[in-house]
Structure 1
Amino acid sequence: METLQDVLRGSTHKEVDYVQYFIFFPPGQTNEETVSKLQNQRIVITDFIQPWIRDYLWQKDRFSLSIGYDDRNDPAYPFLYGVTRFGDCVNDQWFIIYLLREISKKLPETVISVADNDGEILLIEAALELPEWLDPMTSRNRVFIHQGLVHIIPLPSTPADIIEIPIAGKLQRQRAIELVRQQRVHTQADPPVQEAILERIREYPQAAQTERHRSRCILPKQAAFVLLKEPQLLPLAVEAFYIRDPLSLKACATMRQFPPANHNLVSTITTFTRTTFAQTVSQKFYPPKPFHLPPVSQKKQHRAAELGMKLACGLEMLYANNWDKTDDEDATSYAFDRDPKWKEYVANVTRLGYFQGERQGSRLYRERLERAKEEYLKQRRLPASVTYEDVDVDDINTFAGSLPFGSMSPRKKIDAILATYSEEELQQMLETHDSEESDSEDWMHVDPQQLEDLLNKRMKRMQESVMADMDREIDQEEKSTEVDLDKMVANFEQFIEGSRSGVEGVQFPGERDSDDEFSEENEEDDELYDENEDAAVSFNMEKFMSILKGVMDDVQIPLQQQQQQQPDEPEIRKEEASADTESKDTLRTMMDEMDEEIYSHDKITASFADGTSEGMEEREDAPVNVRLNLVKNVLESFKSQQGLPGPVGNILHQFGVVLPADEDQPEESASDRK
């Protein structure tokens, strides 16, 4: 059952944004051999990227690599992996992708996979350039980074390809890694895909420096000392302030750790990231009781004091929150001298040149040794098994390897810094930073034209793709307007002659009855129908005319009975011939009367087209062109549907005929509608 504390903290809960990355090396003969190789390569990679990440301010977690196994045994050997939360700063995510690309160039035998909580981040970025077959269902285990390029394993296009490339949904990760590394199949993505990814990371690593923003703040001395000593605490303090809850605000009522008394305040230049600065200044926050800000009329002082007040409150809330603390084991308390594996670990990294020939006891040697201790302890704490999907973001151990201060919680880090606090050291740091100036905030204000230019730059590829799609649609519409009228008339004739109807509607020629019971009951009838299907169709005109007159008594007697007639058969034939002549005369008279009745009505006469060409004199006795009238009536009926479903539209759909919209029809005027 949730407590009140859980409910209050849940009021600010938001989805956790993270990026997950895996680096696969060629496996050794045994897992032990592979693990030993990975330990060495991890140190090599850390040392390789250190110049880029040394002063980088991470929004939440840092880039970090650990050794792990897949919980589904795919692949069956260990590998390097990491998972980093980047919060609202997507630049952290793309900086990590840049690092992974550089690692793949530095170590060409590696195959790297990267994804975030939304899926395949590389495919999302290059969505407009992807082949049509590639979607979230078919992209599983098919997208990798290898030797600085994006690789996409294609679907098999021939039966021979199935031997190398399994069908969609069947590709195992270990098999996919082998395909990319061995290059027996062309997996390198097309240039437009490569360019879309490169465009996103082209500005790194310089972009990591331009994302910083310096601004003057008035802070309590302890807060200024902590932030100047460890700048990585600033993003954590801003996050604590940005997602504050009622329980966290209780700590700001007293400010025990960072008291803002007048004699305890200093002014200094503080380095933010653009994301953290925007998060801080955008929040409307009334100062707690311990704070006394300058009047608003003193704009610069008020601005610096307000910004410092928010940072100090964030630090106080960060210190008060104990729910994110980690293992108490750290590099200062662990007995490294008693751990034989640590000695073996140091020997391996020394052989790889990790210490770069520095003498033991030198400053650079001590720095690298401390970093190696943190990496060693981090690997000891992490679980051996990892998962690719459904990352448990609520488990702090999931991100234990990427926490900013390794095994130390932010609270312990603050305590360790404050333990070394001195007024002299604070003054030295203040003098160093006072030489810097605040950066312009113009980047936070975007006018409509700048926004338009930015959108045009970002949406250029999308606009080109949309225009290409529109051109294809126009071509298809132009092709669809070419209607074969002869084929349409033939389909109608076949429909009239070959269709059957029942209680469920019309059954078109070629359709099978869906009612199995009905089919079984009529199976014998169908067989008889099939036997006589090719038989000649006979039509008795005299019987048909007799039925029209209602004179059924004049039907000729069957041939069998005629053979049994008496010798006065000639006289009977004469009487029948006389009756037939009278019937024909009567029918002709009746048809003439019907024609006269029809021609006397102008509307009925005008409804039939006789096929007379324009300019020719119309004749009353001109024959009616049945096919022409059929086409005319179909088009008029389709036009009357006004784009809505209707009988003609449904029948034409069954024929596969698509009639174009009547764009030339003039709109009705207001007077006509009235």
Structure 2
Amino acid sequence: MDTPQDNLKWFGEGFDGFPKKLPDDVVECIIFIIDSRLSDVQTRERLQAFQRSLKALENKFLKEYIWQRDSMNLELVREEQQWLLRGRTNYGDSVADEWLIVYFLRELSKEFRDAWIRIYDSDGEFLLIEAANALPKWLNPEVAENRVWINSHRLLIVPLGKEEEPAPLSQVQALHILDTTPARPQQYIKVEREAFHRLNGYPAAISENQHHATLPLPRKVAHILHAHPSYIAPVVEAFYLRDPISIRLLQPDKSKMPLIFPPEDFVDVSVRFTKVLYAQLLGQHWEAPAPWDAALEKLVKADEPTEKAEIGIKLTAGMQMLLSHSIYASHKPTREIALLLEDLETGDDALPTDAEISSWPKREDDEGWLNIDFSEFEKELEGKGSGAKDGFGDKNAQESLKKMVSRFNDFLADNEAGAEGADGVLDPMDEDNDSDAGGRGWDDPEDEDSDSNASQDAQKQKNSKARPKGAAKDSDPETTDDSEDEEADAEYADYEKAYEKFMTLSAAEKAILTDEARELALEQDAEKEEDDEIQKLTQMMEAELFSHGALNVNPKSSHKPGTGLLSGSKGKGRGKGKERMEDINEMDSDGDEELLDEDYNLANNMLQAFKGQAGMAGPAGNMMKAMGVQFPQDKDDEFRGGGSKGKGKAVQR
């Protein structure tokens, strides 16, 4: 059976089922025994021996280990006429569980050299994600599926063949390659080192992942966790993922159900967590409802540390949610806890006495791993960590941060890095070759554009060769582009210097500069808004003047030079106007352009604008009034008002 595929063929196109995809936070592994000398029965026995060795490793290293959700399991199955081991593990929020599985499988591959192991999660080949900085150019997510295997303690990758198209392998193809050409998979040392760098601290990291704390718990809860410490994981998760129904089940007056674990009869016991579980419980802010709030106050008054009392109350509430909420009824831990409670009710078991509890070992681990010096954190981000021992409580977190910063700095230091990647070269799968019109019966317009661009480039080259030595360089667009590029490079260099100087400042100085930059940006925004408002007013005034013709410099009219408004005026102005119009007539004897009398047009436009005001206030009247000019009455108005004026005159006579 192939691993999860994302390609979906719809009905009528060979539909073979919906695409299979792993759920989130789930890791899956498959193990094949590839040896042509082994029979089918011998292959099965070899896989069973693999299972037994895995069980021995678990007994050796996982005696007190707590899985976040699911423990590691490998089932012997038969798929496509061959035996294999397949297992899935839901690791939840604990990535350490996922890497523990990788560590076990890699260790077993030293003993079983004929075993080929593939491990992946919902993100795909996560081992390659860890080694993204060291991958070869051709190895991208589009081709990586079924190419990454663990064998003989090595990470082996099946490379592309000489004539092979860049595409993922199916499981059948990969197994055929491993069987027929076992030397084809290659070991990339840099990729392997980066992919397995998280395993450097194992197996010591297994025990370092635990945390012990002494907490006040009800006697019944203490009894269950002492008998089965692994139940702490589902209890914490039930509290961590609580919903309104869970909160209601904590309140007997609302749920009308008695509490299975009432917050009373508290005893101090040592509880074993993983660091993730303890952090989840500690970091949750929770307003305890009644009667839990009263129990918390009682514990604090009894001189219990407030933080420990809160964690004890949260843990008890999580146990209550796990046993009372219907969504957890089918879970294995819930059923097992219910059986323990039945034994207590029937008398087959009894709660421990104070003397028995006092004999239980108590352990209180340091919580320094939760502490982070943020000044040291900023230094690590800048790649200038001082190596202070108390800067990071968790050394693994510090190492991970250092590696992340180191990879980022390596990328920035690569002068050839660009938008396509650190090497600036596109992978074959990233190339857009869909513009090939071959076999489609139509031409791609991009080809025409490229041909025209090529001809333009050839013409530019020809012109540049033909240009004399004394020609100005600014006339060459290529030279202009080069100068613009140089200016851009200089500006970017200045930006880099300013940024480096900014990063060396203290946090207080950075805050001051940030506030100043914010104020400057606000001022610029205000100025921009003011400029926009002025521009809007200007456009409105222009529109008003245009509507009245005041800004029409050369209107088309039937006006003849020497007649109209200025024809009746006497003096030097008229003579000059005539002479100027005669000169224009002589210069424009061909008749290609219209005659332009600026004085006439200006006066005519102002009169038209004044006429359009219809006796009301307007821009033309206001402008001329401000200059002390009084407009005469329009001639058309005289004709219209002739009758009334005549009548008036007759009456006067």
Residue type matched to 1:466 in 2?
Answer: F
1:251-290 to 2 correspondence within 5 Å?
251-254=249-252, 256-261=259-264, 264-290=265-291
Deviation at 1:431, TM superposition (A): 2.9
- 2:143 is the alignment partner of 1:138: yes
Rounded Cα–Cα distance in structure 1 between residues aligned with 2:153 and 2:58: 15
Deviations 1:408-461 (A, max 9, x none): 72221102233444556465762343x433212221120124422426522254
Cα distance change of structure 1 residues 16 and 212 upon mapping to structure 2, 3 Å threshold:
same
Cα distance change of structure 1 residues 288 and 423 upon mapping to structure 2, 3 Å threshold:
farther
Rounded Cα–Cα distance in structure 2 between residues aligned with 1:154 and 1:425: 62
Is this contact kept in 1: 2:118–2:150, CA < 8 A?
yes
Rounded Cα–Cα distance in structure 2 between residues aligned with 1:189 and 1:505: 45
Fraction of identical pairs, as percent? 27
Residue type matched to 2:239 in 1?
Answer: F
1:231-242 to 2 correspondence within 5 Å?
231-242=229-240
Deviation at 1:508, TM superposition (A): 3.5
1:220 maps to 218
Deviation at 1:102, TM superposition (A): 1.0
Residue type matched to 1:236 in 2?
Answer: P
> Secondary structure of the equivalent of 2:278?
helix
1:173-572 to 2 correspondence within 5 Å?
173-177=171-175, 179-180=177-178, 184-254=182-252, 256-261=259-264, 264-291=265-292, 292-294=295-297, 300-326=304-330, 409-421=332-344, 422-423=349-350, 425=352, 427=354, 430-433=357-360, 435-451=361-377, 452=380, 453=385, 454=398, 457-463=402-408, 465-470=410-415, 508=452
2:84 maps to 79
Rounded Cα–Cα distance in structure 2 between residues aligned with 1:665 and 1:132: 32
Residue of 624, 627, 638 corresponding to 2:480: 638
Cα distance change of structure 1 residues 104 and 461 upon mapping to structure 2, 3 Å threshold:
farther
Cα distance change of structure 1 residues 460 and 300 upon mapping to structure 2, 3 Å threshold:
same
Deviation at 1:90, TM superposition (A): 0.7
Higher relative contact order (Cα pairs below 8 Å, separated by 6+ residues): 1
Rounded Cα–Cα distance in structure 2 between residues aligned with 1:630 and 1:69: 80
Rounded Cα–Cα distance in structure 2 between residues aligned with 1:244 and 1:210: 28
Deviation at 1:278, TM superposition (A): 0.8
Deviations 1:452-494 (A, max 9, x none): 2426522254045314523667xxxxxxxxxxxxxxxxxxxxx
Deviation at 1:258, TM superposition (A): 1.0
Is this contact kept in 2: 1:214–1:439, CA < 8 A?
yes
Deviation at 1:173, TM superposition (A): 2.1
Cα distance change of structure 1 residues 637 and 188 upon mapping to structure 2, 3 Å threshold:
closer
Give the alignment's Cα RMSD to 1 decimal: 3.8
- 2:59 is the alignment partner of 1:50: yes
Rounded Cα–Cα distance in structure 1 between residues aligned with 2:272 and 2:316: 14
> Secondary structure of the equivalent of 1:21?
strand
Cα distance change of structure 1 residues 628 and 90 upon mapping to structure 2, 3 Å threshold:
farther
> Secondary structure of the equivalent of 1:118?
coil
1:68 maps to 77
1:26 maps to 34
> Secondary structure of the equivalent of 2:270?
strand
Deviations 1:641-663 (A, max 9, x none): 995xxxxxxxxxxxxxxx65465
2:590 maps to none
Residue type matched to 1:189 in 2?
Answer: Q
Rounded Cα–Cα distance in structure 2 between residues aligned with 1:248 and 1:272: 23
Rounded Cα–Cα distance in structure 1 between residues aligned with 2:276 and 2:454: 66
Deviation at 1:306, TM superposition (A): 1.5
Is this contact kept in 2: 1:17–1:117, CA < 8 A?
yes
Cα distance change of structure 1 residues 320 and 152 upon mapping to structure 2, 3 Å threshold:
same
Rounded Cα–Cα distance in structure 2 between residues aligned with 1:35 and 1:312: 46
Rounded Cα–Cα distance in structure 2 between residues aligned with 1:232 and 1:146: 32
Rounded Cα–Cα distance in structure 2 between residues aligned with 1:236 and 1:630: 80
Residue type matched to 1:314 in 2?
Answer: G
Residue type matched to 1:102 in 2?
Answer: E
Cα distance change of structure 1 residues 417 and 205 upon mapping to structure 2, 3 Å threshold:
farther
TM-score by length of 1: 0.54
Is this contact kept in 2: 1:325–1:410, CA < 8 A?
no
Any unmatched runs of 5+ in structure 1? 1-14, 160-165, 327-407, 474-503, 513-623, 644-658, 668-674
> Secondary structure of the equivalent of 1:259?
coil
Rounded Cα–Cα distance in structure 2 between residues aligned with 1:246 and 1:168: 51
Deviation at 1:290, TM superposition (A): 2.7
Rounded Cα–Cα distance in structure 2 between residues aligned with 1:69 and 1:307: 47
> Secondary structure of the equivalent of 2:196?
helix
Cα distance change of structure 1 residues 250 and 178 upon mapping to structure 2, 3 Å threshold:
same
Deviation at 1:148, TM superposition (A): 0.9
- 2:109 is the alignment partner of 1:108: no
Is this contact kept in 2: 1:242–1:279, CA < 8 A?
yes
Deviations 1:110-156 (A, max 9, x none): 11000111111100111111111111001111001111111111112
Rounded Cα–Cα distance in structure 2 between residues aligned with 1:299 and 1:90: 37
Rounded Cα–Cα distance in structure 2 between residues aligned with 1:20 and 1:447: 37
Is this contact kept in 1: 2:211–2:273, CA < 8 A?
yes
> Secondary structure of the equivalent of 1:202?
helix
Aligned residues: 407
1:349 maps to none
Deviation at 1:185, TM superposition (A): 3.0
Residue type matched to 2:54 in 1?
Answer: I
Rounded Cα–Cα distance in structure 1 between residues aligned with 2:359 and 2:470: 95
Rounded Cα–Cα distance in structure 1 between residues aligned with 2:417 and 2:411: 10
Deviations 1:301-355 (A, max 9, x none): 43322211111111111112343455xxxxxxxxxxxxxxxxxxxxxxxxxxxxx
Rounded Cα–Cα distance in structure 1 between residues aligned with 2:180 and 2:61: 31
